[in-house]
A and B are shown apart, each in its own frame.
Chain A
Amino acid sequence: MLQRLSNLTLGLVPVVLALLFTTVILIIVGAPPGEAYRNILQGALESPDKWASVVTAMVPLLLCSAGLLVTFAAGLWNIGVEGQIVAGALLATWLALNLTLPPILFIPLLLVAGLIGGALWGLLAGLLRVYGGVHEIFGGVGLNFIAIVLTNYLIFGPWKPADGATMSGTDPFPPAAWLPRLGDLPVYPTAVVLALAAVALMYFALRGTTWGLKLKAIGKNQRSAFLMGIPTSRYMLGAFLVCGALAGLAGSIQAIGVRQRLIPGVSGGYGFLALLVVLLAGYRPLWVIPIALFFAAVGVGSPRLELSMQLDSALGGTLEGIIVLFVLLAQGVKRKA
């Protein structure tokens, strides 16, 4: 009981510290902190539209986090998740621009294309790691860069709109490729269901299957796992594949749902943010959901700072980053104690 309680306070202390820290920053830049926080909250919650946006922003976070739970379990730092989102979006875009099908076939096809595109990009990072000896962080950074460059090339080259290329991306996809909304609200029920299902699936897979246990074994001690007869290379590639697929699904949802076209920054930094979500959740699947909600809300609410207080909306991101740092700090201190 006492243990429980102290774990809880240990979890809360860093969040409180981070809020204090941000408050100090706000005071230094001369903005009333209370009003800033209220603005973020209002910005996220003031209307059904905003609520819907928050849920929509949660979708890529949840999908990527679900994937990252798998790679983290295997002890892998899949920084390439950002590029895997892009790869999923690219494959989906290619089909969306070149096919005409009824929505009932088209949309599932595009979602599967996202899964495949991301999986392939993830597999590439995996092959580099397992057979090329390239650490997945370096491989991931490289592949992220390539994915972005490739997107820009396609948008300004082969896929450029008929009336000339701009930063606003390709032509909109044909309406048959659009992910259906919930009435007029900017929220996509299919996407939400898929995202929650992904987290639930990983929750059960990691705690209750031999597959998950073997991944954990590899993550904690690859040598022992190998000697026990676990095919470590295959499992590591599998982890990259699964994470890439989920990230790619997020990418295709961004393209055919939120944007209805391919834009240069289609990944929107959700991959990196998802890394923070999973770190903050301490790799526990169920914690991912409330944390993703919080991150999504801050992301949707922060632009209000700019409108009503002339503060940079990056403040929201700063707050998120600081919380993660404080939580990691608290964990580090706890380990040393």
Chain B
Amino acid sequence: MKIEALDIRKYFGPVRANDGITLTVEPGSIHGLLGENGAGKTTLMKILTGFISADGGETRLDGRPVRFASPAESIRHGIGMLHQEPLDFPPLKVLDNLLLAFEDRLIPGRQQVRRVLEELCRRFNFSIDPDARVNTLTVGERQQLEILRLLALGAEVIILDEPTTGISAPQKVLLFATLRRLAKEEGKSVIFVSHKLEEVEELCDRVTVLRQGKVTGHIEAPFRAEQLVQLMFGQSLLRSDRSRVPLGEPALELQDVTVQTYRLTVSHMSLAVRAGEVIGLAGLEGSGQRLMLRACAGLQRPSSGRVRLQGDDFTRRSYRDFLAAGVAYLPAGRIEEGLIRGLTLTEHYVLTQRGHQPLFIDWVGAAEGMQHKIAEFNIRGQSGTPVEALSGGNQQRALLSLLPPVLKVLAMEHPTRGLDIESAMWVWEQLLERRKSGTAILFISADLDELMEHSDRIIVFSGGVMASPIDAAATSIEELGYLIGGVRDNS
């Protein structure tokens, strides 16, 4: 199906999220949509799928004007979307989740749905257990399930909003193979939203670049990276060299720590992280790195062993004691567990002030304080903006801006997930700057480049086993990839 967007406009107050965007996606092709954080990519896709309505412009399917009042209506016309923030999945079985999708169509029993599912899995080399519970699936598997669901509903146009964030390398390979197959062999139209140049170069036939709500170019493959960067940012980027800082005393020590949850046990972890050191945690999702990170921040109590902060035993201390001792934790789900939907940036500013908080809020002072942060961290938004109105990248900037100025230990899940290159570089500059004041950094990432580039040492997790740290300077991406995927390839 051919899908056309003509002069689409969407304004949020003063923000021109989409400012006259025109684009055509041909059937049987993979069309990339590239743009920095806040460029308006998600907004455009939400308009095409009826999540939000445009202020102006027209959508056409195979030449016919259409207007969708809801996502359900758009999927009935054959347009399906995989969202940037995974929508909530109730803890149902895979099969029931699919059954729900058919609620308003008279597809009969579970057996038939099971057959459809197995058939689709075979076709695309997916391995999803129909009887597994959805909340036990990895992000990559949920994504596969979503794709199957859309196909089962008869989607002809499939939109993926930054689908590669949070999935493993082999899952990504499989995803790309699937998308190629959908476009080339089954004639579907695929819209691939991303801000990662390599992915777009690898996958897409054609790309449209957005910048501040406007189209800056339509280009056919093969692409030239500099040209794309130029269109995305209006300038070329320079990589800054990573400076070395002298390491200090151990800021955080794990001594033979074991953490246990009903799903996974990670045992006998020992590690000393020195002030100013950066430790990267690698591994397929659910391999134990998150449990380790949470134990370091006081969010997961060890069942044995000791956790020390600057020599003091913190094993039995509460999360709030960790905070008071200068530990900060940045979760992966920004809007789920980092920020608070419905509160403004200023309100977040007030809430995150550490130390003594006066009973009465000085709103004027707080708005000014937030205004400074907005300028300093280059957040696209005002102090009175509710956080859910920020784009994904700007939400991350907001979270970073709210961290206290001096920290002993900074523990982060996916610090640059969803950020464009420029923002990611900038974020790391800020983070690495903190090393100078003696902050030890631990971070989880699925991006091997990021791990290699910013870590002093990398620790690979696999099936609940923590390997001993390796020196980032003494390893290569290939080796790292092998260590991560080598033990068990569960794509």
Interface residues, chain A, with chain B CB atoms under 8 Å away: 208-211, 213-214, 216-217, 220-221, 223-231
Contacts and interface: CB of A to CB of B under 8 A. Distances in A.
Contact of B320 (A210, A216, A229): A229
B343 interface: yes
Given A208-B361, A223-B336, A229-B323, A213 B331 contact: no
Contacts of A210: 350-351, 357-361
24 contacts: A208-B363, A210-B359, A213-B351, A216-B347, A217-B351, A220-B342, A221-B336, A221-B337, A221-B339, A223-B337, A224-B338, A224-B339, A224-B340, A225-B351, A227-B299, A227-B329, A227-B331, A227-B337, A228-B351, A228-B352, A229-B319, A229-B323, A230-B351, A231-B320
A217 B338 contact: no
Contacts of A220: 340-343
Nearest to A214: B351
B76 interface: no
B184 interface: no
Interface string B30-68: 000000000000000000000000000000000000000
Interface of B: 299, 319-320, 323, 329, 331, 336-343, 347, 350-352, 354, 357-361, 363
A134 B359 CA distance: 31
Contacts of A223: 336-337
Contacts of A229: 319-320, 323, 354
Contacts of B351: 210, 213-214, 217, 225, 228, 230
Nearest to A227: B337
A211 B359 CA distance: 7
B336 A224 contact: yes
Nearest to B69: A337
B405 to A, nearest CB: 15
Contacts of A231: 320
A156 B354 CA distance: 55
A220 B340 CA distance: 7
B340 A217 contact: yes
A227 B359 contact: no
Contacts of B340: 217, 220-221, 224-225
Q: Which 9 A-B pairs have the closest CB atoms?
A: A223-B337, A221-B340, A229-B323, A220-B342, A210-B357, A224-B340, A220-B340, A217-B340, A224-B337
Nearest to B339: A224
A209 B354 contact: no
Given A221-B337, A229-B323, 9 more contacts: A209-B359, A210-B361, A213-B361, A220-B343, A224-B337, A226-B319, A228-B352, A229-B354, A230-B351
Nearest to B402: A228
A192 B299 CA distance: 47
B347 to A, nearest CB: 6
Nearest to A229: B323
Contact of A217 (B319, B329, B343): B343
A337 to B, nearest CB: 10
A17 B357 CA distance: 47
Contacts of A225: 340, 351
Nearest to A205: B359
Contacts of B320: 229, 231
